[in-house]
Structure 1
Amino acid sequence: MAVRNETGVTEFILLGLSSDPKLQIVYFVLFLMIYLLTIAGNLLIMVTIYVDSELHTPMYFFLSHLSFLDLGFSTVAVPKSLANFVSQSRIISFRDCIAQLFFMHFFGGAECLHLTLMAYDRYVAICNPLRYTTIMSRRICLLLVVSTWVGGLMHGFGQTFPAIQLPFCGPNEIDHFFCDTHALSLLACSRTFFSETADIINSGTLALSSFVVLSISYSYIISTILKIRSAEGRQKAFSTCASHILVVTLFFAPMVFMYMRPSVTFPADKLVSGFYTIITPVLNPFIYTLRNEKVKKSIKRLRGRKGFLCGDAY
């Protein structure tokens, strides 16, 4: 994508979370610890699923890709924030800002679709167990994952293209810790109706389509689970969906708050943005591993190995 900027603004200043030097050190340590945990947790899940042949099933295949998306999503925003916390200069070039904006929405859009895909996988597993291996074949799983990446690309371009059309003539201070659509729109020196409308339509289409699939999938899932006669069977079925429902809630709730509205600022914006870019990616590995005995046993076996014998991944 060619980045066009016909105005005099060639760089922006990210104001971050605070101008207090002491607080910046606190934020640096906190962000660094969380980011390292994010890397360790998501890499552990990806390696465990790749190495353990017992986890070469569609459910864990999708989980490993979710970990990759979480890792990428967090990496787009956190390293630059860490550098700004310990630097006197918080400058980001116009091109780097646009690139950060694109990749934030690319990974965010792909993860939104991927969580929807995981709901469909649980629907097939619970509502059509006898046909599960046929419906969710390796080829179909690969095509579904590729479709989430294509959807993420389309969402990223859809959010970025209106932003690069905005004229910026100053000021150039972004009241955020990363470049985002709302923050940039507020700095434009002319009306941003097209940009705001495009943002809402793009995000709304993604959110609405995901919500419809999620709602239909879980309506059938809950209906099927309630028909299970044994309490143990119902509990096991609910357990397989509980982690996913929690992750979906943690991801979608702040996203809807941030992007399904016009370009206005609220005091809670930075906190909400920090939640879905920093907190959610580090929570997901713990949510899935702490509630999944199979993954925990695989991690224990992985730690007990003297070396990795990597077979073919699913």
Structure 2
Amino acid sequence: MLQENWTTIKEFILVGFPGLNPKYNGLVSTIFFTVYVTTVVGNAVLVLLFLKEHSLQKPMYGIMFSLSLADIGSGTVVLPKIIAKYWFNDETIPFHSCFMQMKFIHYFGTVTIFILVLMALDRYLAICNPLRYPVLMTGRITLALNITGWLGSFIFTTVVTVQVYQLPYCGPNRIIQCFCEQNSIVKQACADSGYQQLVAFTLAITVLLGSLTFIIYTYTHIIVCVMRVSSSHGRWKTFSTCSTQLCIIAVFYLPRCGVYICHVLRIYMLPDLHIFLIVFYTLFPPFINPFIYFFRNKQISHILVFLWLFVKILDPHFTLL
């Protein structure tokens, strides 16, 4: 039976945190607004630096540039609707818009996974195969790999979204979530969605654990290579070149793996806690990544400090506030 003949839902209602007292809506919306502005501004500054600063136009920074774009996209897809819900009590989202939001949430998440894998590969080649690194990780090769990740992720997530979209939906139309998350949407289907949920979960686990396995494998080899460096200063200097990537990878993977482990082991979580964890692992990495870049990457931090001092010399009264 065609989906158009069965679907009666015209819009979804985003419930958000079901246990949240309405008197805190203003505070919650302010927090999300701050997170959104910080995410967009912080990553936009990095994008401009990567484009304008010639010393940052290297393969490693090209990968970071791609990650900053994905972070901006991820925050922009999710946060404006959450802010509108808690600031203006705008809790409805049209049927088709909900699926578009779901698609792009998964899209930017998948792009980020590919970029983290590319980061690990870049550091592996730079540390374990330094003589071949300039040949294997040129600017053109990095660009081609980035484009492949963005296009491949789009195709992959489109296939998954279409599969879920074709289910018939006839209510209830209340999504116990802050945004259109796939599991919450599928629960609204008025047909057996077990196959779609199994396929989606299997693909998610495969992509998440497959990429994490590759990252662990590469960094294990990196650690082995670093330990072979004779001096302790040399070991620390070599390992510090991938410390930024390790921080970003940990922030991205640890909360996600925690949620998936609880799902597999059928560990019960309160709805508000479950929603918080999903919101956290969706929004926290794009928010914190610019700070990690700044504090863990000396070249970027030095450029930002230099630009700040330059602006202060031109205008002593300049302030970010």
Taking structure 2 as the reference length, the TM-score comes to 0.88
CA distance in 2: counterparts of 1:181 and 1:45, whole angstroms: 31
Which residue matches 1:6?
6
The Cα shift of 1:99 comes to 0.2
Other structure's SS at 1:13 match: strand
Other structure's SS at 1:9 match: coil
CA distance in 2: counterparts of 1:186 and 1:86, whole angstroms: 27
Which residue matches 2:269?
266
1:57-206 correspondence to structure 2 within 5 Å: 57-206=58-207
Taking structure 1 as the reference length, the TM-score comes to 0.90
Which residue matches 2:308?
303
The Cα shift of 1:4 comes to 5.6
CA distance in 1: counterparts of 2:295 and 2:21, whole angstroms: 37
Which residue matches 1:311?
none
Taking structure 1 as reference, are residues 123 and 110 closer, same or farther at Cα in structure 2, changes over 3 Å only? same
Other structure's SS at 1:92 match: strand
The Cα shift of 1:154 comes to 2.9
CA distance in 2: counterparts of 1:112 and 1:272, whole angstroms: 18
Kept in 2, the 8 Å contact 1:5–1:165? The answer is no
Other structure's SS at 2:28 match: helix
Taking structure 1 as reference, are residues 258 and 184 closer, same or farther at Cα in structure 2, changes over 3 Å only? farther
Kept in 1, the 8 Å contact 2:14–2:176? The answer is yes
1:44-55 correspondence to structure 2 within 5 Å: 44-55=45-56
Which residue matches 1:285?
290
Which residue matches 1:37?
38
CA distance in 2: counterparts of 1:6 and 1:38, whole angstroms: 40
Runs (5+) with no aligned partner, structure 1: 307-314
AA partner of residue 48 (structure 1)? L
Point out which structure has higher relative CO (alpha carbons under 8 A, 6+ apart): 1
Kept in 2, the 8 Å contact 1:110–1:148? The answer is yes
Taking structure 1 as reference, are residues 287 and 66 closer, same or farther at Cα in structure 2, changes over 3 Å only? same
**1:274-307 deviation line (CA, Å, top 9, x unaligned):** 212222111111112101111111112333557x
Which residue matches 2:27?
26
Which residue matches 1:309?
none
Kept in 1, the 8 Å contact 2:40–2:75? The answer is no
Taking structure 1 as reference, are residues 252 and 155 closer, same or farther at Cα in structure 2, changes over 3 Å only? farther
Of residues 293-302 and 4-13 in structure 1, the stretch that sits farther from structure 2 once superposed is 4-13
Identity %: 33
Runs (5+) with no aligned partner, structure 2: 312-321
Kept in 2, the 8 Å contact 1:200–1:259? The answer is no
Which residue matches 1:214?
215
Aligned length: 303
CA distance in 2: counterparts of 1:285 and 1:145, whole angstroms: 19
